[in-house]
Copies of this chain bind each other. A is one copy, B any other.
Amino acid sequence: MVLRYRPIDCSIARSLSLLGERWTILVLREAFSGVRRFDDIQQNTGAPRQVLSARLAHLVEQDVLRRVPYQEPGQRQRYEYRLTEKGLDLYPVLVGLLEWGDKYLADESGPSVALTHKACGSPVRVTMMCADGHEVAGARDVRAIPAQRRASTRR
């Protein structure tokens, strides 16, 4: 079977090198929910503390999260973790996972959260659009073609 791209060059693979691990995605879920402090993230994800600490450091190093100092009265200065623009851009991926889980994996009590458009209150969903303004229903309507590469060094 002839492949028309080098799988190793693939941006999905690169993204997973950064994210491909469940605690990382759950940390991002917390960040998008406004949960920014180590102990709260730890409690909500159930990640072992050492693992969580390593994942947070990695996400900061990769500019997905940034550390912001805060100080409670009488306590030492600590840090909370906020999404950068790069991190915020992962939102459609998380919403896609949420929708898929809601559709196929929810229990009898249904989805736990509903996403609405702040501007109008209507439900929000992930979709695909083409540059001509058509909504693209699914994978069967999409063709993947080798991109024009900017250099010929990686063929």
Are A97 and B16 in touch, CB under 8 angstroms? yes
Are A151 and B108 in touch, CB under 8 angstroms? yes
SS class, residues of chain A in contact with chain B: mixed
Does chain B have a CB within 8 A of A76? no
Cα–Cα distance between A46 and B80 once the two chains are bound (Å)? 37
A31-39, A49-57, A66-74 - the one binding chain B: A31-39
Given that A12-B97, A89-B103, A101-B12 are contacting pairs, would A144 and B6 also be in contact in the complex, using a CB cutoff of 8 Å? no
Are A33 and B100 in touch, CB under 8 angstroms? no
Cα–Cα distance between A21 and B123 once the two chains are bound (Å)? 30
Cα–Cα distance between A144 and B119 once the two chains are bound (Å)? 13
What mask results when residues 131 to 154 of chain A are scored 1 for a CB within 8 Å of chain B, else 0? Answer: 110111011111111111111011
CB-nearest residue of chain B to A45: B7
Cα–Cα distance between A115 and B129 once the two chains are bound (Å)? 11
Are A92 and B88 in touch, CB under 8 angstroms? no
Does chain B have a CB within 8 A of A59? no
Does chain B have a CB within 8 A of A15? yes
Residues of A bordering B, CB below 8 Å: 1, 3, 5-22, 25-26, 29-30, 32-35, 37, 40, 44-46, 83, 86, 88-120, 122-132, 134-136, 138-151, 153-154
Known: A11-B112, A12-B97, A93-B100. 7 other contacts (CB 8 A): A12-B29, A20-B22, A93-B97, A95-B142, A108-B151, A113-B144, A113-B145
